Amino acid sequence: MSRPEPKNGEIFKHFKDNYYHIICVGHHSETEERMVVYERISKDDYLMDKSVNPVMEPCIRPLDMFMSEVDHVKYPDVKQKYRFERI
């Protein structure tokens, strides 16, 4: 992977304009596949430097998928290069 791995506490923007707080990066206990644990935060929370929303359940996604490029065939109007980009 050519991009730096996400770090705990960083904020990423999804190509559909949602913001996400990285909880941690770890591995699947059986396959050793690298995984990202993250939670959605509101754009207002990010812009106003508030704490993350404790109500939403965290998401878990394979690191390779998290770091992948947007499918510009499926989403031709998206300007963002990667699915999630560090902000």
39 to each of 27, 45, 65, how far by Cα in Å? 17, 13, 16
The answer on pLDDT for 25 being more than 80 is yes
- Domains of the chain and CATH, by start: 11-86 (2.30.30.320)
DSSP code at position 79:
-
What are the tens digits of pLDDT across the range 43-83? 665 555 555 555 578 999 999 999 999 999 999 999 999 99
Calculate the average pLDDT of the chain. 88
